[in-house]
Each structure stands twice: as structure tokens, then as C-alpha cells.
Structure 1
């Protein structure tokens, strides 16, 4: 199968779209291949040309999604100090990451729901954690250091994805710029310091 053939690319994209559209209405467990084919406007033989069953489709789709997510999560900021975390270079990295996440909000929110019975949100946390460790290993991290960095990488990754999910929930009230500032403050001041700063600022602001 030549996946670079434009006809194949188009067909696979149709199947991907159909999968997400169907999952908005029906959990994967109850979804049928016939429903997928009808939504994708293809026949069953075309579907089985590329996938063994709906679970194979789901696995391959998630593998591609997580691989793309991994490429987009630039963790160069782990090399920054608290003094230069405000550097334009890191600000741009955060901005690009948030723009990418926002662009994919609909499908991520769907994949985080119970529609597929797989912890995609947790897997994304692990992707960021692994990216951080890989980055630091390339800088000479080794031995005892790695145990502590593993802990903080997990904490940072969890914090980042929790922030993103919170942003998606309150997007109408929270701007991308505010989310970016929270990320910077968390790294510069620490989570508790950033929390106190946010709360104190909110208390001083007049109620709307």
C-alpha cells in the first residue's frame, strides 16, 4: 500500500474524519465498521484494505496523533533559568505550542472523553515527560540526577496538561496570552508562588 498516493491519502483522511464524527455520537465499543464506512462514504472492502477492524483504526489513529503531539511539544525551555524564562525564544515556543493545542481542541477533547476507553490525556502527559527527559539526557543528565528529574518532569507535564484542559473548559473567559503567562509564572515562581500571585491579583481587581 502506497500511503503517499494522493487517492490513498484522501481515503485515509476521510476515514479519520469519519472516526471522529462517529465518536461524537457513539462510543467506540458500540461503533460498527458499517457506520464508519457510511460516514466516510466508502465501502467495507476499502476499509479492510487499510485496517483489520475498528480497533486497529483507533490504535493507528492514536499512534499518529501522539507522534504529531510529540513533535509539536518543544521542551527547549528546560534549559532556561528563572532569569531568562521570559526570553522571546521561549515565549515563542510557548505560543506555538498553545496555538497548536488550540487548533486541535475539538479532537483532543473528544479523545480525552470516555468515548474510546483509553487514557489519552495521561498518554499526552507521558509524552511531555519523555520529551523533557530526552532533552536533559542530551545535555548530559545521568545517574542520581535522573531520578529527581524524572519526578519533576512528571510534575511539570501533569501541570502543563492540566492547565491546557482547564483552558479548554474556560476558553471563553481565559485568553491564550493569560495561559502563556501562567506557564511562565509557574516556571519562574513555582506553582505555589504563581498561585499566590494570581489569587492576590484577583482579590485586588474589582469584581465584574
Structure 2
């Protein structure tokens, strides 16, 4: 059993994760081998296998880490911020993991998907907000549309830098949907 707070463990896992992300920018997921990861991370195979069963578990672990972080960021921001601040702060918080996030969000040839996880989290978050309204169009459509738009805005911001006007536009889109297609539900 390894102690996850041990600096050697942290350092080894970071090296493995960083090397894996680097390799994903150069090769398709299916082409990456454990040998490639070990060579890039400058570790032995036994070190890799101490933490991960295979590259699939490594990918799944990374996706779960970033999904959990995303969910926490959204939850914290929703309680502490206005909508405009929420999106700007979200982009800023995600920006520190820019390279890894863009790599994983653009990964299409793998069995696990950060895009699918982020979409599901966004749909759940917006559903809570939309529960106060009755819509003339299917609410699930609005959830999916909003999630897709936010995901596009996240990718744009990570790639091109944070633009407050994009956050403002995102909020305007949601307000427009609510204004034109919803009525407030009395509770």
C-alpha cells in the first residue's frame, strides 16, 4: 500500500500524468504504450504499475480528477458569485490546467471522455437553476444547449484567453431563453 501523501508518490504520479498528456498531444490514445509513458516520465515500468493497472485506468483517473475539480469549481462559484463573475472565475480556475484540459477535452479516440463528463455536470447544474421555471420547449433541450455552449466557451477561453464579453454573451443567451420560453413556477 502506498501513502498518497508521500512526496515520492506525488512526484511519480505527476510525472506519469504529465508524460501521458504530452504523449496525447503527439499520438493517438491507442498508439500510446506503457513503455512510451515510462520513457517520457523517466521511470521504470514497475513504478508505473505501482499506481496504474494500465493506460486506461490512468486516463480514467485523470478524467475523474478533472471532472471532480470541475464540479467543485461550479458548486463553489454558484454559491459565491453572480453569473458573470461565475463564468470568468471558472475560466480563470480552469486556465491553470489549460494544457491537460484541452488535450483531454479534444480526445476523441479513447474509451473515457472528459467532454461527456463536463457536459453531464453542466446539464445537472443548469437543471437546478431551471427548476424554478416552466418551459414551452423541452427543458432537456435547454440543458443540452447551455452545456454545449458553456463547453464551447471553456475550450475557446483555454485556447484563446479569457474574454469577459464571452461570459456576458453566455449569460445573455441563458437570460434570453428564460425570458422568451419560460414562466416562473410558484413554490
After TM superposition, the score normalised by the length of structure 1 is 0.70
Give distance in 1, aligned partners of 2:149 and 2:56.
30
Q: Report the Cα offset of residue 154 of structure 1.
A: 2.6
Helix, strand or coil: the match of 1:57? helix
Q: Report the Cα offset of residue 73 of structure 1.
A: 1.9
Count of residue pairs the alignment pairs up: 173
- Map 1:14-25 → 2, pairs under 5 A: 14-25=15-26
Is 1:179 paired with 2:166?
A: yes
Instruction: In structure 2, list runs of 5 or more residues that go unmatched.
Output: 181-187
- Map 1:59-208 → 2, pairs under 5 A: 59-74=60-75, 76=78, 89-114=82-107, 116-117=109-110, 118-133=112-127, 135=128, 149-168=139-158, 171=160, 175-190=162-177
Q: Is the CA contact (8 Å cut-off) linking 1:33 and 1:53 kept in structure 2?
A: yes
Give distance in 2, aligned partners of 1:96 and 1:114.
25
Give distance in 2, aligned partners of 1:158 and 1:115.
16
Give distance in 2, aligned partners of 1:64 and 1:167.
21
Is 1:34 paired with 2:21?
A: no
Q: Report the Cα offset of residue 115 of structure 1.
A: 5.9
- Map 1:41-60 → 2, pairs under 5 A: 41-60=42-61
- String of CA shifts for 1:107-155, please: whole Å, max 9, x gaps: 222113346424432321111112334x459xxx59x99xx54443333
Helix, strand or coil: the match of 1:73? helix
Q: Is the CA contact (8 Å cut-off) linking 1:37 and 1:44 kept in structure 2?
A: yes
Helix, strand or coil: the match of 1:3? coil
Change (3 A) 1:154 1:190: same
Q: Report the Cα offset of residue 166 of structure 1.
A: 4.0
Q: Is the CA contact (8 Å cut-off) linking 2:91 and 2:158 kept in structure 1?
A: no
Give distance in 1, aligned partners of 2:121 and 2:12.
29
